[in-house]
Chains A and B, each alone.
Chain A
Amino acid sequence: MPKVVIPVKEEILKSAERRKASGAVTEVSQHLAELIDLGFEHRLRQLYQQFEAGQISLEYAANELGLSVRDLYAALEERGLPTSNIQR
């Protein structure tokens, strides 16, 4: 997995350190990586809801997520979600 350096808010860093101290995670970075995954998932679900409601297109959602249409198609398929939002 690629590693990047990012600024982290004090409260998030503290929470990660406490999680490590409690033994819930082995590394601070593990907790931060989990939070990033959750954030991405949340953003994806948020955009999918807008897509489902017909407010944005699939490509627009992909752009907002920083994915190609094909990558978003794969992400939705992986989650068992339809890639069409038309109901007839």
Chain B
Amino acid sequence: MRDLVNVVFDASPLITACKFEAAGKLVIDHLLTGCELLISPAVEEEVAILGARYPDGVVAGERIADGRIPVVHVKTRRWEHHLGGYAMGHGERESIKLCGQEPDVEALVTDDHLAFIAATRLGLKVWMLPDLVVGLVSRGLLRVEVARAILEVIRPRYRAGVVEHSLEKLQEGEEDAKSCDSSQGRDFEVG
């Protein structure tokens, strides 16, 4: 069995994943088959509590309640000063700090430029949601047709070029897989 990808989700990609459906399933449920997805209490508050009147808020709340999306309290004060000057919200700061607190987290998943910059400058690996989708395919945790369907359905939430970039990565991955005739998982490349 392949290892799950451990990631911390910020609010915006969590909303997107809980809102859109592709290949007969919510995007979040496709992701949860390949990911251990952690969130901070501030993200839970924004998405599942304040967002409870939206269907995706209910979807998130159900998966939090049954433990599929663990909410992890942020105890560390590490990076508090580093992050203090950025015009970010509590959820974005907590998500970044959670990545520094939890030992097995591989990346922060955010669709926000400032969070992306701040986390990258702290030495974290940061992915946008489309990067995670591509990464799951490259590790054999998501089928390429499903990934394409997900990318198409979430396209309106992204600026021009982002989804095209990810579709191109999928295409490259398919061509590489054909040419190297290997069934082994490849390294996660999102750049």
Contacts and interface: CB of A to CB of B under 8 A. Distances in A.
Nearest to A63: B89
A57 B88 contact: yes
B11 to A, nearest CB: 5
B163 to A, nearest CB: 10
B50 A56 contact: no
Contacts of B113: 54, 57, 85-86
Contacts of A77: 156-157
Contacts of B157: 77, 82-84
B159 A82 contact: yes
Nearest to B158: A84
A22 to B, nearest CB: 40
A87 B161 contact: yes
Interface string B1-38: 00000000001100110000000000000000000000
State which size class the interface on A falls in: 20 to 34
Contacts of B135: none
A32 B159 CA distance: 35
A15 interface: no
A64 to B, nearest CB: 9
A48 B62 CA distance: 31
A84 B12 contact: yes
B89 A62 contact: yes
From A55, A69, A71, name the one whose CB has the most chain B CB atoms within 10 angstroms: A69
B82 interface: no
A77 B16 CA distance: 11
B100 interface: no
A9 B16 CA distance: 42
B47 interface: yes
A71 B53 CA distance: 10
A75 to B, nearest CB: 12
A72 to B, nearest CB: 10
Given A85-B111, A88-B165, 16 more contacts: A54-B117, A56-B114, A57-B86, A57-B89, A57-B115, A58-B89, A59-B89, A63-B89, A68-B51, A70-B46, A71-B51, A77-B157, A83-B15, A83-B157, A85-B159, A88-B161
Interface of A: 54-60, 62-63, 68-71, 73-74, 77, 80, 82-88
Per CB-CB distance, the 8 closest pairs between chain A and chain B, nearest first, are A59-B89, A70-B51, A84-B111, A68-B50, A54-B113, A56-B87, A57-B88, A69-B46
